[in-house]
Amino acid sequence: MMELTINGTVYQFKFGMGFLREVNKMTTIPVKDIPGKEMNIGMQYAFGELLDGNVETLCDVLYIANKDQKPRLKKEDIDSYIEDENTDIEDVFKQVIDFLKSANATKKITAEVLKMMEEQKKAAELEAAKEKKAEKKQK
């Protein structure tokens, strides 16, 4: 369970199955070869957005993770907390990402996203190296 102190009150955030189900509903894609069937991929998308530093996604994730907790945060409270110049937003991103990587309900998905991103980075580096080599040959 992750905790943040906002305006002097400690709030808890749970990244369990309820969180996963809710976040997954945020983004869906059609399932290939099964007309009318969709697959929920919100967690993969949200985690990628968090890694990219998307503040709106951070607010949404915090809101959903606090949904069944007491005390309960309003979206406006989270927005104010994130907007506050005294909030270390980089630390909030780090805490959320670290909890998502370690929570039983989300750690497999986050590991897959990180692996996919690493593979894409390597492929882009390889492509850039090939282009650079081709440029040298042309000169």
Express each pLDDT in 79-115 by its tens digit: 999 999 999 999 999 999 999 999 999 999 999 999 9
- Could you identify the residue written with the tokens 């309900």? 105
Which element (helix H / strand E) includes 115? Answer: helix 107-138
Q: Which residues contact 16 (CB under 8 A, 6 or more apart)?
A: 103, 104, 105
The dihedral formed by the CA atoms of 101, 107, 110 and 114, expressed in degrees to the nearest 10: 80
Query: Per-residue confidence at 137, pLDDT binned at 50, 70, 90?
Result: confident
Least confident of 19-33, 80-94, 123-137: 123-137
| CA-wise closest residue to 93 among 120, 42, 40, 56 | 56
Nearest to 49 by CA among 61, 64, 63: 61
Assessment of whether the complete model's pTM goes beyond 0.75: yes
With 0-12 / 13-18 / 19 or more C-beta atoms within 10 angstroms meaning exposed / middle / buried, residue 32 is exposed
Q: Rounded to 5 degrees, what are φ and ψ at 24?
A: -60, -30
Mean pLDDT to the nearest integer, 6-35: 91
Q: What percent of the chain has pLDDT over 70?
A: 99
Q: Say if residues 112 and 100 touch (Cβ distance below 8 Å).
A: no
Mean pLDDT of 51-77: 95
